[in-house]
Amino acid sequence: MSGRRQGATPTPRVLAGCAARAAGTVWRSAPLHVLGYAAVTLVGAAVPVAVAWLTKAVLDGLAQHRTSALLGLAVTIAVVTTAAAAAAQAAQYLRAEVDRRAAVHAKDELFAAVTRFTGLAPFESPAFLDRMRLAQQSAANPGRLVDTATSAVRSAVTVAGFLGSLVVISPVFTVLVLVSAVPALLVELRLSRQRVAMLWRIGPAERRELFYAQLMSTADAAKEIRLFDLGAFLRLRMLTELRAANAERRRMDRREFLVQTSLSGASVGVAGAGLVWAILAAGRGQLSVGDVSMFVAAVAGVQSALNVMVSAGVMAHEQLLTFHHHVTIVTSGPGLPAPRHPRPLPRLRRGVELRDVWFRYSDDLPWVLRGVDLFIPHGRTVALVGHNGGGKSTLVKLLCRFYDPTRGSILWDGVDIRDVAPEALRARVGAVFQDFVAYELTAAENIAVGDLAAARDRARVERAARDAGVHDTLAALPRGYRTLLSREFAADQEGEETDGVLLSGGQWQRVALARAFLRSDRDLMILDEPSSGLDPEAEYEVHGRLSTLRAGRTSVVVSHRLGAVRDADRIVVLAGGVVAEQGTHAALLAEGGTYARLFTRQADGYRAEPRPAEASR
Ligand SMILES: Nc1ncnc2c1ncn2[C@@H]1O[C@H](COP(=O)(O)OP(=O)(O)OP(=O)(O)O)[C@@H](O)[C@H]1O
């Protein structure tokens, strides 16, 4: 599902499939509303034809001085037009309701598919992100397809009604009016394809524009933008993207303007010729005054209804092309290959083994891991250390199967994790990631996300918070655990007005740790830089707690604070994409290699006397 060429135009057959799917979604979401909408729309469609006939009757009555019947006709016209007005209002309400209900359905379907993706790769693919943006636009408004289809049907009814009248008066003109609509349809369809292709092309520019706009309007970057005075730079970048997208849109709009002006000119020409013919025919006594009025109304009616039909067809085409992005996402597989017959995952007894694991994020990127052989024994702690960019977090992501090794395998008690259902694997793993998420939710919910089922027991949430050393902080918040950890929202999930609170970096780190404590019964615990934001005392205290948590459990700890992992059962140095050294702290120090050098540097940094220049300040 990656690659920008996948924005290419789908075949008519694929589009027909999309149409069937959209119709199914809309029908299942609001069947009664759809029926009601169709009914009032049909009523609305019949009205112009009825009014034209009634007007003809009135005019003929006037010409023949049959005034007695005119009152009844006038009342009928009033009733019909009032019914039409009511039908229009009802149609508007029903359409909006269909839209709302279908949008819920489509959005649910889209995000269910997105959260089903097993791996992380799609979220790092620009083409997927563009597709997702268009799919979201389409999911927000799937009912528009019904609207478009109904307006096409309504126009077809109007066309049929007027055509009957027109054929009676002039068969030649009937054919002429119909034939003149064909090139319009073809040209408009071509324009619609070009418009959708243009929307796909400007996708990256629109996403970048949004990125700059968000950067300037959210708290995350506010400090740096002000201190580094980045406002003008970011605004310029945002406007450059906007102008680039606008230039494409303008080109398209101009093309549409030219084409549509020519098409309108042609249709006005046909109508004008018709009027001249009708007046001449009336002069020769071939048409009555009512006939002329009927002819004019019928030509205008057929032309405008045909116009609406053409626009509806074009709009439906455009909407289907956009909806195709939605369908592509909701029908795509889980991303990583899924085992046809998943093997059960045994409780970890022996350990997890990486066997000759090679990995790179994509074919055009360099190797991150180049044949890693590593055993993580059951009940033991393995610490991963090494230089920045050495591949420690990547290895952790492979253990969770967010990506598959490009070569080699990862075995859980001998079972390849690719043969296991990903959710079964992840249910056995607890983790604190280096880039953990600070959810804009309450304090309790921020811990509960670690294990939603377990967190129904409030006591467990508090115990996890105590273990992570953050209970006192959370309990002291204005609304305790129910305090919203955000300044962006004014109400919590239960809709109660509340002032949000911001935590410090270290306090957030403890909240993230509490999530891991909530999952402390898992077979494999992964802690990627679990204490990077903590003050020295907190780090000491939290490491004590983590050691207790890890005791007798299988865990992988990534840390640059080598003092914090010196008690690990095995310390593994990743360098150059391979395991460069491994052993206990004492053994690695004795070896005098990379670990010994890194450890000594760090330890010296704490012990070293200030240099003369620093001391004299
Ligand atoms: N999603 C990604 N797509 C492409 N390249 C990536 C991605 N994530 C990491 N990399 C690259 O992979 C390499 C290893 O990154 P990784 O985060 O695993 O290193 P690390 O050892 O955890 O580093 P650090 O100590 O700085 O946290 C780096 O060169 C990085 O640029």
Ligand 1: distance of its center to the CA of 372 in Å? 15
Q: In terms of residue numbers, what domain contains 401?
A: 345-428+522-617
36, amino acid identity: G
**For residues 581 and 594, is the Cβ–Cβ distance under 8 A?**
yes
Q: How far apart are CA 177 and CA 187, in angstroms?
A: 17
Concatenated DSSP letters of 171-188: HHHHHHHHHHHHHHHHHH
Residue 371 φ/ψ, nearest 5 degrees: 95, 60
Q: How far apart are CA 326 and CA 21, in angstroms?
A: 10
Choosing from 128, 368, 372, 562 the residue with most ligand 1 atoms within 8 A of its CB, the one to mutate for a pocket test is 368
Q: How far apart are CA 4 and CA 201, in angstroms?
A: 9
Residue 334 has pLDDT above 50, yes or no: yes
Residue 581 has pLDDT above 90, yes or no: yes
pLDDT in tens, 201-247: 998 899 999 999 999 988 788 888 988 899 999 999 999 999 999 99
612 is a domain residue:
yes
The per-residue pLDDT for 494 is 60
Tell me the pLDDT band of 613, cut-offs 50, 70 and 90: low
Choose from 373-377, 492-496, 522-526 the range with maximum mean pLDDT.
Answer: 373-377
The length of the chain in residues reads 617
pLDDT in tens, 273-306: 888 888 888 888 888 888 888 788 888 877 887 8
Give nearest CA residue, ligand 1 atom 17. Answer: 393
Same domain, 240 and 302: yes
Mean pLDDT calculated for residue range 310-330:
85
Residue 248 has pLDDT above 70, yes or no: yes
Residue 4 has pLDDT above 50, yes or no: no
Using the 8-state DSSP alphabet, how is residue 121 labeled? Answer: G
Ligand 1: distance of its center to the CA of 360 in Å? 10
Number of Cβ atoms within 10 Å of the Cβ of 1: 15
Residue 51 has pLDDT above 90, yes or no: no
Chain-wide mean pLDDT for the chain? 86
7 is a domain residue:
no
Same domain, 197 and 274: yes
* CATH number (domain holding residue 457): 3.40.50.300
- Atom nearest to 124 CA in ligand 1: 1
Ligand 1: distance of its center to the CA of 426 in Å? 21
Ligand 1: distance of its center to the CA of 391 in Å? 6
Q: Which residues pair with 385 in a beta bridge?
A: 573
506 is a domain residue:
yes
Q: How far apart are CA 452 and CA 495, in angstroms?
A: 20
592, amino acid identity: G
Ligand 1: distance of its center to the CA of 598 in Å? 20
More confident position, 389 or 307: 389
Give nearest CA residue, ligand 1 atom 9. Answer: 394
Give nearest CA residue, ligand 1 atom 31. Answer: 389
Instruction: Out of 222-236, 326-340, 379-393, pick the least confident.
Output: 326-340
Same domain, 102 and 146: yes
Same domain, 156 and 16: yes
pLDDT in tens, 449-484: 999 887 788 899 999 999 888 999 999 999 899 999
Same domain, 317 and 404: no
Residue 614 has pLDDT above 60, yes or no: no
More confident position, 145 or 600: 600
Give nearest CA residue, ligand 1 atom 23. Answer: 389
Ligand 1: distance of its center to the CA of 91 in Å? 55
Same domain, 39 and 136: yes
**For residues 154 and 41, is the Cβ–Cβ distance under 8 A?**
yes
Ligand 1: distance of its center to the CA of 124 in Å? 13
Q: How far apart are CA 439 and CA 446, in angstroms?
A: 6
Ligand 1: distance of its center to the CA of 69 in Å? 87
Tell me the pLDDT band of 268, cut-offs 50, 70 and 90: confident
Collapsing DSSP states into helix, strand and coil, what is residue 234?
helix
5 is a domain residue:
no
Same domain, 311 and 360: no
Q: Which of 493, 520, 547 is where one domain is finished?
A: 520
Tell me the pLDDT band of 615, cut-offs 50, 70 and 90: very low
Q: Which of 520, 545, 560 is where one domain is finished?
A: 520
The per-residue pLDDT for 491 is 61
Residue 2 has pLDDT above 50, yes or no: no
Give nearest CA residue, ligand 1 atom 25. Answer: 388
- Atom nearest to 574 CA in ligand 1: 21
- Atom nearest to 362 CA in ligand 1: 4
- Atom nearest to 120 CA in ligand 1: 1
Number of Cβ atoms within 10 Å of the Cβ of 51: 17
4 is a domain residue:
no
Ligand 1: distance of its center to the CA of 204 in Å? 24
513 Cβ contact list (under 8 Å, min separation 6): 432, 467, 468, 470, 530, 542, 546
**For residues 530 and 508, is the Cβ–Cβ distance under 8 A?**
no
Residue 433 has pLDDT above 60, yes or no: yes
- Kindly provide the residue ranges of all beta strands, DSSP E only, lying in 198-302, ordered along the sequence: none
Same domain, 358 and 322: no
Alpha helices per DSSP H over 441-504: 443-448, 458-467, 471-475
Choosing from 394, 531, 558, 565 the residue with most ligand 1 atoms within 8 A of its CB, the one to mutate for a pocket test is 394
Choosing from 393, 403, 562, 579 the residue with most ligand 1 atoms within 8 A of its CB, the one to mutate for a pocket test is 393
* CATH number (domain holding residue 130): 1.20.1560.10
Same domain, 354 and 208: no
More confident position, 360 or 168: 360
Alpha carbons within 13 angstroms on the beta-carbon side of residue 382 total 25
The per-residue pLDDT for 490 is 63
Same domain, 207 and 162: yes
Ligand 1: distance of its center to the CA of 344 in Å? 31
Give the largest Cα separation in the chain, rounded.
Answer: 120
The per-residue pLDDT for 603 is 77
Give nearest CA residue, ligand 1 atom 30. Answer: 389
Q: How far apart are CA 422 and CA 348, in angstroms?
A: 16
249 Cβ contact list (under 8 Å, min separation 6): 198, 202
288 Cβ contact list (under 8 Å, min separation 6): 60, 63, 282
The per-residue pLDDT for 612 is 56
Mean pLDDT calculated for residue range 8-18:
81
**For residues 464 and 518, is the Cβ–Cβ distance under 8 A?**
yes
Instruction: Out of 95-99, 207-211, 371-375, 380-384, pick the least confident.
Output: 95-99
Same domain, 491 and 534: no
Residue with tokens 């004014």: 490
pTM of the model: 0.78
Which residues have C-beta atoms less than 6 Å from ligand 1?
124, 361, 365, 368, 386, 388-394
Give nearest CA residue, ligand 1 atom 7. Answer: 361
Collapsing DSSP states into helix, strand and coil, what is residue 381?
strand
- Atom nearest to 390 CA in ligand 1: 21
1 is a domain residue:
no
Tell me the pLDDT band of 109, cut-offs 50, 70 and 90: very high
Same domain, 445 and 387: no
Q: Which of 488, 520, 552 is where one domain is finished?
A: 520
Tell me the pLDDT band of 309, cut-offs 50, 70 and 90: confident
Ligand 1: distance of its center to the CA of 417 in Å? 22
Count up the domains in the chain and report the number. 3
Give nearest CA residue, ligand 1 atom 6. Answer: 361
Ligand 1: distance of its center to the CA of 271 in Å? 68
Ligand 1: distance of its center to the CA of 127 in Å? 21
